[in-house]
Amino acid sequence: MNKKVIWAIIILMSTALIGIAVTQFVWIKAQVSLDESNFDDRVFTAMNNVKASLKEDASTKDFVDKWAVRKKSLFGQNINFLNKYKSRDQNSLDNLKLESLMHAIDPDYPLLSINRKKLNRYIKSELEDQGIHLKYDYAVYSNKEKEFIIRNGVFAVPLEGNASSPDMDDSHTTGKDHKGMENSPYKVKLFNDDESPGYLKIFFPNKQSYLWAKVLPSMLTSLLFASLILMCFIYTIYVIFRQKKVSEMKTDFINNMTHEFKTPIATISLATDSITNKSVINSEEKVGRFAKIIKQENKRMLNQVEKVLQMARIDKKDFELKLTSVNLNDVVSQAATHSRLKVTKRNGILETKLRANQPNVEGDLTHISNIVHNLLDNAEKYSTDEPKIIISTSNVKGGVELSIKDNGIGMTKESQKHIFDKFYRVHTGNRHDVKGFGLGLSYVKALISAHNGTISVESELGKGSTFILFFPFKQSD
């Protein structure tokens, strides 16, 4: 897939995800605003009902005795006069006149005469009728005193008899003096709207939590699906890039395979043409030499084909290990003898350090030999100038460790992450300074895993590489 197409897909999908997220956020915020507006309407309905109840109480109740006791020191003879007047005539009309007179003497009279237990009950009942069950604080504000004179059923001004009633139900209030009371939007004037002595305020400390809790299920559901879409998006991009990389590696593999087959085919073709030449066909020695070349090149091609088929079988797990007791010291010695000739031809050194006192492990001798040969081949091929290779064995906890160290070109950190991937080669494209299909280390990794072992690499660019293999001892049943 074209790189521009991939990035176009990423941009479009990212834009779509951001659009979905923004839409969800706007919708949720609008829902919270709608719920808040509905909540406000219900609170004001409840407060207006409380106001009506207090006004009705004030128009029918006789407050004079209670007010006289509380304010006798302040009003003196005026109160006595009013009490005498009250005792002479208790009809409702006279009471209303007395109440008007008290209001004229003290504007706070209607506020101070509020039955706090009733106020407490009215507020609780009306809010519950509106479906509001939140904790709240309430207060009565006096325009004369310029402060709240009642807070949650308790007089806030130093007046005689202003203690809270012992049987007051305050389970619905928070019991805290919140600063939020002053900024609360829930306020209604008490008694007369035109010349009101004060107003009632209610504050809900947990209002925002309540409103957001209502949309929490929708939020969590949206977040869950958005997260799933995001994960699918990330995984899709990962797969696209991985497939692109695999496609590039397969292309490199085909190019390398073409080159690897082209050389022996060309050699065989040339040898065949030479044999048919009249000057050669009559010479038994020359025919034999060219026939040997054809046989060698044919064997080389068969080996390359076998590598590809073997890797395919390993991928499908269509192979079986012939487990026997394998002496790793012997395997290393034989492989070193085979590779030493190629190393010494380049004026290099191949050194063995067989330090494993218990070198026997359970494994497939053929596959383990192939593993060591593959790694030694790589060490020689990727070394520059005069190769220096050290192969060693040692006993570690639970098995035998085998390491192959070279002074080759080394690898970057990025290459080390992919060195065991199929078709991966440090030299990509159609460069052929190092021959191969890029299957060697993938084959090695797969076979070591089949033996329940591990392989790792330590490398630095320009300073060589060290491959460390671990083969476990036979596990007792």
**% of the chain residues with pLDDT over 90:** 18
The pLDDT, as a whole number, for residue 82 is 47
Residue with the larger pLDDT of the pair 118 and 169: 118
Q: How confident is the model at residue 476 (pLDDT cuts 50, 70, 90)?
A: low
The pLDDT, as a whole number, for residue 86 is 47
Grouping H, G, I as helix, E, B as strand and the rest as coil, residue 423 is coil
Residue with the larger pLDDT of the pair 153 and 424: 153
pLDDT at 253 over 50: yes
Residue-wise DSSP of 253-296: HHHHHHHHHHHHHHHHHHHHHHHHSHHHHT-HHHHHHHHHHHHH
The pLDDT, as a whole number, for residue 88 is 46
Residue-wise DSSP of 327-363: EHHHHHHHHHHHHHHHHHHTT-EEEEEE--SS-EEEE
| Strongest mean pLDDT among 276-285, 295-304, 313-322, 400-409 | 400-409
pLDDT at 98 over 50: no
**% of the chain residues with pLDDT over 70:** 77
Q: How many CA atoms lie within 13 A of 356 on its CB side?
A: 30
The pLDDT, as a whole number, for residue 322 is 86
The arithmetic mean of pLDDT across residues 45-74, rounded, is: 66
The arithmetic mean of pLDDT across residues 175-191, rounded, is: 77
The pLDDT, as a whole number, for residue 274 is 83
Range 323-472 has CATH code 3.30.565.10:
yes
Per residue in 412-428, pLDDT tens? 888 888 788 776 666 53
Q: How many angstroms separate the CA atoms of 315 and 393, rounded?
A: 29
Amino acid at 410: G
Q: Could you tell me which CATH number the domain at 211-315 has?
A: 1.10.287.130
Q: How confident is the model at residue 108 (pLDDT cuts 50, 70, 90)?
A: low
Q: How many angstroms separate the CA atoms of 141 and 120, rounded?
A: 15
The count of other CB atoms within 10 Å of the CB of residue 44 is 16
The pLDDT, as a whole number, for residue 49 is 92
The pLDDT, as a whole number, for residue 109 is 61
Which of the residue ranges 89-93, 157-161, 472-476 would you say has the lowest mean pLDDT? 89-93
Q: Tell whether pTM > 0.85.
A: no
- Cβ neighbors of 220 (< 8 A, separation 6 or more) are none
Three-state SS letters, 427-454:
CCCCCCCCCCCCCHHHHHHHHHHHCCCE
Which of the residue ranges 52-66, 164-178, 450-464 would you say has the lowest mean pLDDT? 164-178
Residue ranges of the domains in the chain? 3-61+113-205, 211-315, 323-472
Per residue in 342-352, pLDDT tens? 888 888 899 99
In sign, the C-alpha dihedral spanning 18, 19, 21, 26 is positive
